[in-house]
């Protein structure tokens, strides 16, 4: 998830710059199913709204914005990346419940790594009379690309490894995503050509994976079509620096 505030322009009748390049970073907190810790999908049957087991993680964003002349409106193009580790402790507790009588479980869960490219309109409203503060709201749509993280576990009984499982990272189809991001910006410098911005960014998408499951030993037929999707939603808290020209 994440954040673009093509702000920092004065309102109508301004003579300032039209373009903004902004770099921002912060924290992305998982929402809904993405942060849910309630089971793992069965690879033999289709499922929807699977638990992401995600924790809050870092995010970065690069934005290029253009403000229309003598207007409060503009356009913004963003490229963002975020990483959310999965909750190993919660996964260990889950695997322990799946294996009654186990001594301990060792889990190694990969991290969600998410890329987004988005574009959309922005609106900028001045705050106060100093010309240094602006409130922005950006609504964008685009594409999200990610993969189901790798996962492995070993269950110990009587201090000996008894049950083990391992799955590699699985790429998911690119998915439609959208973002709503309100923010507040402050202009600095003699020419007011540098902005410092804080924003909230709500991002949401539903990526999916499709494959054909074949039983083992083979039972004939063409296999079973399996579909899994994940609701990947997060709330970003971001701080950015922008350069106007």
Which of 178, 205, 197 shows the shortest CA–CA distance to 237?
197
Domain positions in the chain are: 19-85+113-144+174-244
Is residue 7 packed enough to be buried (19+ CB in 10 Å), middle (13-18) or exposed (0-12)? buried
Identify the three-state secondary structure at position 149. coil
> Tokens in use for 155?
């269950």
Cα 39 to Cα 36: distance, rounded to the nearest angstrom: 9
- H helix or E strand, kind and range, residue 99: none
Model confidence pLDDT, tens digit, residues 193-226: 899 999 999 999 999 999 888 877 666 667 889 9
Q: For 19-85+113-144+174-244, give the CATH class.
A: mainly beta
In contact, 136 and 87? CB cutoff 8 Å: no
Identify the three-state secondary structure at position 226. strand
Enter the pTM of the model: 0.88
Which residues does 97 contact at the CB level (< 8 Å), separation at least 6?
none
Tens-digit pLDDT string for the chain (245 aa): 334 544 444 333 345 678 999 999 999 999 999 999 988 888 788 988 899 999 999 999 999 999 998 899 999 999 999 999 999 999 999 999 999 988 899 999 999 999 999 999 999 999 988 889 999 999 999 999 999 999 999 999 988 998 899 999 999 999 999 999 999 999 998 777 899 999 999 999 999 999 888 877 666 667 889 999 999 999 999 999 999 98
Chain CA centroid to CA 38, Å: 20
Identify the three-state secondary structure at position 33. helix
**C-alpha distance across the termini of the chain, in Å:** 26
Which of 170, 176, 177 shows the shortest CA–CA distance to 210?
170
Cα 97 to Cα 101: distance, rounded to the nearest angstrom: 9
Task: Give 86's DSSP letter.
Answer: B
């Amino acid at each position: 998830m994440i954040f673009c505030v093509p702000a920092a322009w004065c309102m109508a009748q301004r003579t300032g710059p039209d373009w903004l390049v902004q770099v921002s970073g912060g924290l992305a907190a998982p929402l809904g199913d993405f942060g849910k810790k309630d089971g793992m999908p069965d690879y033999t049957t289709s499922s929807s709204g699977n638990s992401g087991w995600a924790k809050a993680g870092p995010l970065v964003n690069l934005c290029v914005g253009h403000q229309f002349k003598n207007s409060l409106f503009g356009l913004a193009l963003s490229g963002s990346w975020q990483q959310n580790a999965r909750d190993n402790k919660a996964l260990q507790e889950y695997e322990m419940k799946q294996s009654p009588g186990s001594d301990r479980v060792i889990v190694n869960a990969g991290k969600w790594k998410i890329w987004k490219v988005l574009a959309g309109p922005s609106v900028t409203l001045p705050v106060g009379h100093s010309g240094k503060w602006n409130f922005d709201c950006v609504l964008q749509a685009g594409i999200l690309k990610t993969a189901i993280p790798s996962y492995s576990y070993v269950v110990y009984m009587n201090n000996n490894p008894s049950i083990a499982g391992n799955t590699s990272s699985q790429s998911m189809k690119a998915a439609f995503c959208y973002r709503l991001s309100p923010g507040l910006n402050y202009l600095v410098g003699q020419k007011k050509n540098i902005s410092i911005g804080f924003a909230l960014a709500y991002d949401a998408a539903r990526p999916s994976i499709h494959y054909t499951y074949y039983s083992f030993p083979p039972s004939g037929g063409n296999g079973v079509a399996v579909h899994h999707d994940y609701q990947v939603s997060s709330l970003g808290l971001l701080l950015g620096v922008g350069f106007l020209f």
